[in-house]
């Protein structure tokens, strides 16, 4: 989170298209690395925290608030195409549950 916060602080004066393009690449890489079995809760927490940081930093770009939460979420979930966390490894047939092993006499 610290690295994301520092990057957003540095990128704040950039044009919005550049910020969003770089943010999409950063999040896609983060999801590719951290979205594994049993890490969904943490990656969704990171997603929410990044969303709050971006909202705050975009609203600091001018003297008035640029985005209400309603307007921001409409863009975030729609036309900005921000990637969402997606667990890439499932538990289906690839990882069967191991049952008790029978005792052989």
CA 18 to chain centre: 17
What integer is the mean pLDDT of 49-64? 88
3-state secondary structure 8-61: HHHHCCCCHHHHHHHHHHHHHHHHHHHCCCCCHHHHHHHHHHHHHHHHHHHHCC
Average pLDDT, the chain: 83
Q: What angle do CA 85, 71, 87 make, to 5 degrees?
A: 5
pLDDT confidence of residue 38? 81
pLDDT confidence of residue 26? 94
- In the chain, what percentage of residues exceed pLDDT 70? 83
Q: What is the pTM of this model?
A: 0.75
**68-91, pLDDT tens digit by residue?**
999 999 999 999 999 999 876 655
């Amino acid at each position: 989170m610290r690295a994301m916060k520092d990057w957003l602080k540095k990128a704040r004066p950039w044009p919005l298209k550049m910020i969003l393009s770089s943010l999409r690449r950063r999040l896609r890489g983060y999801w590719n690395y951290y979205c594994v079995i049993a890490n969904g809760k943490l990656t969704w927490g990171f997603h929410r925290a990044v969303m709050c940081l971006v909202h705050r930093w975009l609203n600091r770009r001018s003297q008035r608030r640029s985005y209400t939460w309603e307007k921001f979420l409409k863009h975030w979930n729609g036309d900005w195409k921000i990637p969402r966390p997606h667990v890439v490894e499932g538990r289906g047939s690839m990882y069967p549950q191991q049952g008790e092993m029978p005792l052989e006499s």
